[in-house]
Amino acid sequence: MNLSLRSFLPPLDLGWNHVRAICAMPSCHNKLLMRAVPGARTGIYVGEAWYCSPDCFAMESRQRLASLCTRTVVEMPRNPRLPLGLALLAKDTISEGQLRFAVALSEHRGVNLETTLLNEGIVSEKQLAAARGAQWGCPVLGPEPAGQIVEADLPPTLLRAFSAAPLHYSAKAKRLVLGFVHRVEHTLLQSIEQMTGCRAEPCFITPSEFKVQMDRLATVDGYTEIVDNDPGTVPQMARTLGGFAAEYTAREARFTRCKSWIWARIVGKRETLDILIPLKSAAASTKREFSTAVPEVTQALG
Ligand SMILES: [Zn+2]
């Protein structure tokens, strides 16, 4: 009989140990050590890749950050099915005469149609939100005010940047309802799904409801957001992430790009940290980094 030893071992456990034991940092020296030491540091997962230490994690974050910085975001232009004026007409909120008047006034003043409609008292915020819902084929928050305190481990800076407020959040059910004021930002929905594993559904709310809801937004215990407005060069960003990974005893890290933001999440033993890097700051740093190289390049080109 030719039974291999392997067949006596639980296959799942073997697979897990195997993954755990190999640090994804190519030049890491800890590969064999980790396999031999039970109960050694748990390491950090980034997707399928596993890193034995914050140092290896930081080294490998350089590439991820660099590609997020330079990635040209190709977004399918998702625009509403209907122009706002037509949506208001279809809902009988305004008459054709009112629409013509508002369009002419908007052009004359150089402001957008919705501003004119609101300022002239032709429509209410609620009617405008209903028309946006019709435009995008999304529900609108009901007549009763939101008023619920929503606890969420989502970065408030990003929510404010996209005028989106969480109206309902259930980590258990993995479901989130996000109320948008101006337009449905699909990039934000996708980023949130990627980072939290929650299904994010859009709806429309008024600017007043947005304000109320953001005031009532509470962060989950052990959740922190940091906005890094001076991220420095990519290697410096990676070092910063490595520092946080060590500080928070990171188990897992996730990265995404949401329009002009890099969003990195560090999931620690007890706490979760979101680091937001506005790409304008990152671009300025990258430019500084490149500018030193430019003279050599131009010289080389003659
Ligand atoms: Zn390593």
Q: What is the pLDDT of residue 193?
A: 95
Helix, strand, coil share (%) of the chain residues, nearest 5: 45, 20, 35
What rounded mean pLDDT belongs to the chain? 82
Cα of 36 to ligand 1 centre, how many Å?
A: 14
Name residues with Cβ closer than 5 Å to ligand 1, which is an ion: 23, 25, 28, 30, 52, 56
Task: Enter the tokens of residue 111.
Answer: 């402001």
- Coil, strand or helix: which one is 187? helix
Give the residue among 62, 55, 110 at the shortest CA–CA distance from 250. 55
Task: Enter the tokens of residue 281.
Answer: 């700051």
pTM score: 0.79
Cα of 249 to ligand 1 centre, how many Å?
A: 15
* Helical axes 207-215 vs 125-136, angle rounded to 10°: 90
Cα of 53 to ligand 1 centre, how many Å?
A: 6
What tens digit of pLDDT does each residue of 245-287 get?
Answer: 999 999 999 999 999 999 999 999 889 999 999 987 666 555 5
Beta-ladder partners of 224 = 273
Cα of 205 to ligand 1 centre, how many Å?
A: 47
What tens digit of pLDDT does each residue of 35-67 get?
Answer: 445 555 578 999 989 898 999 999 999 999 999
Cα of 30 to ligand 1 centre, how many Å?
A: 5
One DSSP character per residue, 253-273 reads: EEEEEETTEEEEEEEESS-EE
Cα of 276 to ligand 1 centre, how many Å?
A: 25
Cα–Cα distance measured from residue 184 to residue 249, given in angstroms and rounded to the nearest whole number: 36
Cα of 24 to ligand 1 centre, how many Å?
A: 7
